[in-house]
Amino acid sequence: MSDASKLKILITGGGGMLAHALAQTFYAFGVDHKLMSRAELDITKIDDILKVLDAEKPTHLINCAAYTKVDQAEKEPGQAVEINGKSVGNLADACKRRNIKLVHYSTDYVFADGDRTPRKIDDPLRPKGAYGVSKLLGERMIAEINPPGWILIRTAWLYGPNGPNFVQTMLNAARAGKPLKVIQDQTGSPTYTFDLASATLELIRANASGTFHLTNSGETNWFEFTRAIMDEFGITPTSLTPITSADWQTIKPDSAARPSYSVLDLSDYTRATGFKMPDWRDGLKRYHARIDSVAASVSIPVSSPEASADSQTSRPASRKRR
């Protein structure tokens, strides 16, 4: 078990949604950490990575930097590969040279479509789209370069403060009185970034190494998740209609194909740490509580629209990311 007081963690992609949750979690647990935004460290630049590692001398590098625009990746697969693949190789190489532990995130999108049983670590990998292909390349780079004590975490369906995310997009649309049409034939596990951040810390503290799956537990589909969001936030949308992935493809012909079943088997995490991931419904409740407490702490009257939101609602909802 690692002593938390001896950890020094550098987080790349510091402007993103998961990086925010990691920083807040480390702060709460008194773990020494530093966020580096894209402007401070661009992971495509190997020399800059080494300079930063030499200056900061972290024990762990957590990479949250990623090309996350799933649909856009179909049009610019080269950029996705550059950031999610080759640059992850740069990070792995730099960590190996400086003996730093690398923690990196991948996605359920690397898996081949198959039966409806939770995906195990070694299940067949066959991504459907350019984003998944680029993330799989990142996974392979880490395994091949093999920096000491690396941790690769596959996750899915993330939402949390400080990023455009599905929950906020649905809430914004419902509050604006828009009719909601939501896919019913894709199943997965919605995952609160703060639960993923805490579980990442547990893996680090347990000195775990290798590939792990981390999502909230339980499963649902996007339509049922939307119903749960509306119930949790006490909103009655103008209309909420289930549609199929094929319907969605007609509405948004440029969207990338997504897996129909994305539930991940979490047992390796429990074996490594002794902990179980909280249920997704519980994560949603705590997300609600957190954004309410942020809203309550700003000095705007509670009845104004701004007061019901934190920073993520000011970012464009159309930037669907993963």
Ligand X SMILES: NC(=O)c1ccc[n+]([C@@H]2O[C@H](COP(=O)([O-])OP(=O)(O)OC[C@H]3O[C@@H](n4cnc5c(N)ncnc54)[C@H](OP(=O)(O)O)[C@@H]3O)[C@@H](O)[C@H]2O)c1
> Which residues are the active-site residues?
131
Give 211 or 307: the residue with its C-beta nearer to ligand X.
211
Q: How far is the CB of 64 from ligand X (least distance, A)?
A: 5
Distance CA 157, CA 149 (A): 26
DSSP 172-204: HHHHTT--EEEE-S-EE--EEHHHHHHHHHHHH
Query: CA triplet 130, 258, 272: central angle to 5 degrees?
Result: 90
Q: Which stretch binds ligand X (CB under 6 A): 23-31, 38-46, 244-252, 294-302?
A: 38-46
At its nearest, how many Å lie between ligand X and the CB of residue 180? 19
Q: Which of 9, 22, 31, 66 touches ligand X by CB under 6 A?
A: 66
* Alpha carbons within 13 A on the beta-carbon side of 167: 28
What is the total count of residues that contact ligand X (CB under 6 A)?
26
For ligand X, which residue has the nearest CB? 16
Residue linked to tokens 């596990």: 189
Q: What torsion, rounded to 10 degrees, do the Cα atoms 252, 255, 259, 261 define?
A: -30
Q: Which stretch binds ligand X (CB under 6 A): 36-44, 197-205, 245-253, 285-293?
A: 36-44
Q: Is 275 helix (H, G, I), strand (E, B) or coil?
A: coil
> What would the DSSP string read from start to end of 133-146?
HHHHHHHHHHHHH-
- The correct pick among 16, 58, 129, 149 for binding ligand X (CB under 6 A) is 16
Tell me the C-alpha distance between 317 and 299, whole Å: 24
- What is the chain's length? 322
Q: Does 12 bind ligand X (CB under 6 A)?
A: yes
Q: How far is the CB of 303 from ligand X (least distance, A)?
A: 30
Stretch that binds ligand X, among 40-48, 180-188, 251-259, 290-298 (CB under 6 A): 40-48
Piece in contact with ligand X (CB under 6 A), picked from 9-17, 141-149, 204-212, 306-314: 9-17
Question: Is 83 near ligand X (CB under 6 A)?
Answer: yes
Tell me whether residue 7 or residue 22 sits nearer to ligand X (CB atom): 22
* Contact stretch for ligand X (CB under 6 A) within 41-49, 115-123, 198-206, 293-301: 41-49
Distance, in Å, from the CA atom of 199 to the CA atom of 197, rounded to the nearest integer, reads: 5
CB of 154 to ligand X, least distance (A): 7
Structure tokens at 122: 């070694």
Both tokens of 61, joined, read: 């590098």
CB of 6 to ligand X, least distance (A): 26
Burial 244-274 (b: 16+ CB within 10 A, else e): ebeebeeeeeeebebbbbbbbebebbeebbe
> Which of residues 101 and 322 has its CB atom nearest to ligand X in the complex?
322
For the bound state, the minimum distance from the C-beta of residue 156 to ligand X, rounded and expressed in Å, comes to 5
The single residue among 11, 23, 35, 65 that binds ligand X, judged by CB under 6 A, is: 65
Report the alpha-carbon distance of residue 152 to residue 139 in Å, rounded. Answer: 7
- Among 26, 105, 150, 223, which residue sits at the site for ligand X (rule: CB under 6 A)? 105
Which positions from 126 through 185 interact with ligand X, judged by CB under 6 A? 135, 155-158, 163
**Residue 59: which of 268, 210, 205, 274 has the closest Cα?**
205
Q: Enumerate binding residues for ligand X (CB under 6 A).
A: 12-13, 15-18, 38, 42-44, 64-68, 83, 105, 107, 135, 155-158, 163, 321-322
